[in-house]
Structure 1
Amino acid sequence: MYILQESLFSFEELLKMQSKERLPIFFGVLDLRPYAKELRSRSPRGADGHCREGILRALLAAPIEHIHTFTALHHRLETDLRFRYQCGLSLDREAPSVSTLSRVFAELTKKNLAQQLFEDLVKRCQEDGVIDGSHVAIDSAAIHAYEKKQPKRKSEQTGNANWGAKFDSFGNKITWFGYKLHLAVDTKSELPLALEITPAHVNDGEKAPGLIRKIASKANTRFFMLDAGYDQLKVYEAARNVRAQAIIPLNPRGEKEPPAGFTSNGTPCCSMGFAMTYWGADGDDLKFRCPHATGKVECPLGMAACSSSNYGMVVKIDIKDDLRRFSSPHRDTKRWKELYNERTSVERCNSRLKSYLTANDLHVWGIQKVTTHQYLNAIVLLISALAAACKQKQIAA
């Protein structure tokens, strides 16, 4: 059973609650004082006296309340006194203005505080057993920009939003102007472990090695699951360098003929041309046996033509000979397929960020602010999981 299935259900239940019930549970597991301290204005000019912790709470509440803009957030704080109180803002003065909310968001971006809070929450989730981290899925998602669309050549010079294209699960080509959210997710809890924002045209395989290294620095990951778009040698090498295995289907596009004596999935063939039977791994060596000896085929020459042993011919393959083609567990085995099926966890995480929160509803521009926006959405998932886990512990006690 996945570690956090109950908690993920609680997250979706949390969204169904009324705001007055949801926000106390949500904020109950947070201590934002260290981060709010970094947001305090040190200049008398522009010091408006608003509680920075309260504004930070409001910015975090916005995604879960499906509030897309600073204007809408100001209006909610101004008209909903309960919401303002639950965010920790004073009721005896006006709500923070749109410019104040925008200014605090900009400061949050400038000091990378959203990323710091995200990484601290990931660490806490690991310490509390909410996140496991041994199996990780990586994928990218399209994020539509708030900026005005520009020609591709001009947009590439800005380093911000650009034109991107990818194929959906039905093989249809989709194009968009904006960014890519590159996301690494713990497959058991379906919670984000790391993310990165790039212009939309950046190839998925370019960012995967960096995400793999980042995850390896904070978790003892054994397997990384990625789709065929990541079928590049450098991705397999990145996983190998952190003592993990990349589980990626071979991409048929541009695929060369397999080496002589092998099937397309890396299975050696016997002298009669039959695919041999995978018989487990010993370290980096994959072991294969005569298919006639294992009852997989009825060879007209039997075992004697290849080996004098009644065990049949045995072939061992070193994974390091071709990290892309050879895998442990071996491709097409039941275990390999089970691992690859875990990749859907990153799709579900992406869906929650977009459908339930505001990851694809940008009203800020520039890659740095877009990154902060995505971190705030990812933080909401982590906080919700911690709140659900705390609630379960209280019930159990």
Structure 2
Amino acid sequence: MSTLLDIWNTIQMKLFPAFEQEFDPLTEQEREFIKIVSLLDLPEHTKVYNWQGFGRIRKSRLALAKAFIAKSIYMIETTDALIVYLKGCKNIRRLRGWELASQVPSAPTFSRAFSEFAKGELPQKIHEAMIKKHCGQKLAGHISRDSTAIESREKPVKMPMASAGPKRKPGRPRKDEPAAPNVLKRVELQAGRSLEENLSDLPTVCNVGTKKNSKGYKTTWVGYKLHLDCIDGDIPVSA
């Protein structure tokens, strides 16, 4: 973790004072944004989305990736609300690379860029690179595993009804009657498969989720469920 500590000290001692000379006084969330972006190698990860010399020149995907991070930090739910916030807040807009409010892209541009990032698995690739760089050669002493609900405004996908097997007669089966084959659950199958096979088998559509809260009561929501494995230092290593 020494590399992370060195980066943190550089951010605290050098980067924040330099930014405060150029910007208005930084808020706590703006400092949080600077810390996160400083840890990520965004220019390297977003260069594949840049304009390749054909067609209309694209808006900077680096700036749009920074806006994607800001949307999460500020917990802004919609793209339209993000655009309004960027146009109204000079500091946060300039930190993303847009000096003027008129330079903030339109909602369709944001949507196209976010769709590209999702299809290209940009967040997953950045996270994988960070874990390999800062934690790859170190032994994790503890892993804390938990899940959290992600509510969504989508409609849950209708799941196909499970096909009912042939009805069997009540009572004990005959000795010469073949036993019904056991259908293994997804968790039981995962041990003998590769990571890619397990990930591709996980459901990714919007659904109705249920889990027990800290008091033992069941809660239900429409959306998704996120599972996280965190090592010492509250660092998420898998999701």
**How far apart are the structure 1 equivalents of 2:53 and 2:111?**
17
Q: CA deviation at 1:149?
A: 4.4
Q: Deviations over 1:114-154 (max 9, x none)?
A: 10001112223326x9x862211222222222202465658
CA drift of 1:182 comes to 1.4
Distance 1:165 1:57, change over 3 A: same
Q: 2:45 aligns to what?
A: 35
**Paired residue secondary structure (2:215):** coil
TM-score by length of 1: 0.39
For residues 49 and 86 of structure 1, the distance between their equivalents in structure 2, rounded to whole angstroms, comes to: 20
Aligned residue number for residue 97 of structure 1: 106
- Root mean square deviation, CA, Å: 3.1
Q: Which position in structure 2 is the counterpart of 1:60?
A: 69
Q: Matches of 1:82 and 1:149 in 2, distance apart?
A: 38
2:151 is aligned with 1:144: yes
What is the CA–CA distance in structure 2 between the aligned matches of 1:84 and 1:36, rounded to whole Å?
A: 19
From 160, 164, 189, give the equivalent of 2:205.
160
- Structure 1 position 42, deviation (Å): 4.0
Helix, strand or coil at the partner of 2:115:
helix
Q: Retained in 2: the 8 A contact 1:152–1:163?
A: no
Partners in 1 of 2:86 and 2:156 — Cα distance? Answer: 32
State yes or no: 1:106 paired with 2:151.
no
TM-score by length of structure 2 reads: 0.62
Paired residues for 1:169-184 under 5 Å: 169-184=214-229
Look up the equivalent residue of 2:89 and give its one-letter code.
Answer: D
* Residue 191 (str. 1) matches residue 238 (str. 2): no
SS at match of 1:28: helix
Counterparts of 1:192 and 1:144 in 2: how far apart (Å)? Answer: 21
Q: Deviations over 1:169-208 (max 9, x none)?
A: 322121222211111111x21121110xxxxxxxxxxxxx
Q: How big is each residue's C-alpha offset from its partner over 1:56-76, in whole Å with a ceiling of 9 and x where there is no partner?
A: 111112211222221111112
What CA distance in whole angstroms lies between the structure 2 residues aligned with 1:28 and 1:63?
A: 16
Which runs of structure 2 are paired with 1:247-396 in the superposition (5 Å)? none
User: Which one-letter code corresponds to 2:229 in the other structure?
Assistant: A
* Shift, 1:112, TM fit: 1.1
Instruction: Please say if residues 132 and 189 of structure 1, whose CA atoms lie closer than 8 Å, have aligned partners that are also in contact.
Output: no
Tell me, in whole angstroms, the C-alpha distance in 2 between the residues paired with 1:22 and 1:139. Answer: 24
- In structure 1, runs of 5+ residues without a counterpart are 8-15, 196-397
- Aligned partner of 1:30: which letter? L
Q: Deviations over 1:2-27 (max 9, x none)?
A: xx9xx9xxxxxxxx944554444443
- The structure-2 alpha-carbon separation of the partners of 1:90 and 1:175, relative to structure 1 and needing over 3 Å to count, comes to same
The aligned amino acid for 1:190 is D
Percent sequence identity over aligned pairs:
29
- Quick check: which has more Rg, 1 or 2? 1
Greater relative contact order: 1 or 2 (C-alpha under 8 angstroms, separation 6 or more)?
1
The AA in structure 2 aligned to 1:56 is A
Give the match for residue 73 of structure 1.
82
Unaligned runs of 5+ residues in structure 2 are 9-25, 162-202
What SS does the corresponding residue of 1:179 show, helix, strand or coil? strand
Q: Secondary structure of the equivalent of 1:163?
A: strand
**Distance 1:106-1:85 versus aligned 2 partners, 3 A rule:** same
- One-letter code of the match for 2:70? A
8 A contact 1:137–1:185 mirrored in 2: yes
Q: Do 1:51 and 1:89's aligned partners in 2 also have CA atoms closer than 8 Å?
A: no
The number of residue pairs the alignment matches comes to 176
